[in-house]
Amino acid sequence: MLGNNIKKQFPIFKHHPQLVYLDSAATALKPQCVLDAISDYYTKYSANIHRGIYSLSEKATQEYEDARAEIAKFLNADPEEIVFVKNATEGINLVAHVWARRNLKEACTIGLSIAEHHSNIVPWQQLVKEKNGELVYLDVDDNGELSPLLSKEGVGGGLPKKIDFLALAHVSNVLGTINPIKEIISQAKKQNVPVLIDAAQSAPHIPIDVKELDCDFLVFSGHKLGGPTGIGVLYIKKETAHAVEPFITGGSMIREVTKNESTWNTMPWKLEAGTPHIAGAIGLAAAVRFVKDIGLDNIKNHEEKLLKLLVDGLRNNSLQLPLEARGREENSSIRSSDDSNEVFIFGPEESEKRSSCVSFTVKGVHPHDIAQVLDEDTIAVRAGHHCAMPLHTYLNISATARASVWVYNTEEDIAKFLQSLERAVKKFI
């Protein structure tokens, strides 16, 4: 069902039949059903929402709120817990402004991991500056895992200080590690530490149940899940919502406005000021239905196979790469490629601990050069620091090449990638 069959639903492959798209961790391609849903809004009922009392506006309002309900179901949340935002970045920033700024005390300590995306670092840097607080970082171990968090001292056991708030990615966009967030959140709760989960790299790949997880906040971007750009989701747990105050104010988010005072609408609308990205929300709901129809368990199985092929292909030198392509040596550190490892694969050894992507370096070849040669073979991969500069500094490298997969990728894609990589390496070594 996945791979070649599903490719037919992605019109970009009609325009680029040779394309091997291995950059879904940056943004996923869009299925026809999403394009249709967006086009339907603009062509058939393109009115504003929540204000018109004519049928077109009522239809648009209904579709927008149905989209919220669809996304709530996807996360096992209630619709009033779902706030539409621009992307994961805006969702995290919003939590910093609408909740953390008011509820975290002066000199607070915020726990992050060293593998966070800049989106889940910079807003907290800004906040602790305001609060005279500090950030403490969890390191990753040699397998790219956050095991110190699970020490018997509980959450933050591996941290130098007790923390007041924890913000963590579900899946690292560089290491591909699936962090054990359920266990981490459960430990955090025992110590009354609120938790934000950055699900940007997990929502398209792994089932998420916010009730079971019991996180306070969770964010993801629609565009990584086959939805349009410019729309994302911020989940705020009902019990936490009372402590939230608006950041952006104006139309739609109010109940009543007098010359000098205003009162707020209820959640989630009090955080959605102005005309929202109506087509975006509707398109995202179509993407969620697309993913649900395939089934996240099927997606996970399909990707696990592809990621294993990728890792094994890089590691086993099966394509006679003129180099020794292997995984981590015993006693080697995740931080740097030792001399004997020509191809260095970052992240967990075990494929079941990995999702979304595989990042690697090849000794003597810059990741940008790899990406460029692959592009000549119509293979799209990402190269650079992937908006995770602290992790790259920690690993003592400036850049990695990253191949990431989603529903349309096939085993042939991986074979083509490995062949092209061989060509790239021959060219530069």
Active-site annotation, residues: 387
Interaction mask 185-204, ligand PMP, x per CB under 6 A: -------------x-xx---
Does position 24 bind ligand PMP by CB under 6 A?
no
d(Cα 257, Cα 251) in Å, to the nearest integer? 10
Tokens 């966070």 correspond to 116
Considering the rule CB under 6 A, would residue 179 count as an interface residue with ligand PMP?
no
Rounded alpha-carbon distances, angstroms, from residue 77 to 48, 81, 100, 151: 26, 6, 21, 30
Q: How far is the CB of 151 from ligand PMP (least distance, A)?
A: 24
Where is 257: in which H helix or E strand?
A: strand 254-257
Interface of this chain with ligand PMP, residues 368 to 387, rule: CB under 6 A: 387
Is position 117 an interface residue for ligand PMP (rule: CB under 6 A)?
Answer: yes
φ and ψ at 405, to 5 degrees? -125, 160
Q: Is 400 in the site for ligand PMP (CB under 6 A)?
A: no
Minimum Å gap between C-beta 401 and ligand PMP is 15
Is there a contact between 424 and 407 (Cβ–Cβ < 8 Å)?
A: no
Instruction: Take residue 246 and report the two structure tokens written for it.
Output: 């608006």
DSSP tag of 100: I
- The tokens describing 78, both together, are 């209630």
Q: By CB under 6 A, tell whether 177 contacts ligand PMP.
A: no
Are 233 and 201 in contact, with CB atoms under 8 Å apart?
A: no
Binding mask 73-112 for ligand PMP (x = CB under 6 A): --------------xxx-----------------------
When asked if residue 169 is in the footprint of ligand PMP (CB under 6 A), the reply is yes
265 touches ligand PMP by CB under 6 A: no
Q: CA–CA distance from 44 to each of 51, 60, 229 (Å)?
A: 18, 10, 21
User: In the complex with ligand PMP, which residue's Cβ is closer, 87 or 400?
Assistant: 87
Q: Token digits for 76?
A: 């096992």
CA 386 to centroid of chain Cα atoms: 12
Nearest-approach distance from CB 172 to ligand PMP, in angstroms: 7
Q: Does 119 bind ligand PMP (CB under 6 A)?
A: yes
The span of 3-11, 114-122, 264-272, 307-315 binding ligand PMP (CB under 6 A) equals 114-122
Residues whose CB falls within 8 Å of the CB of residue 395, separated by 6 or more in sequence, listed in order? 334, 335, 336, 346
- Single residue of 9, 221, 337, 361 touching ligand PMP by CB under 6 A: 221
- Binding residues vs ligand PMP (CB under 6 A): 87-89, 117, 119-120, 169, 173, 198, 200-201, 221, 387
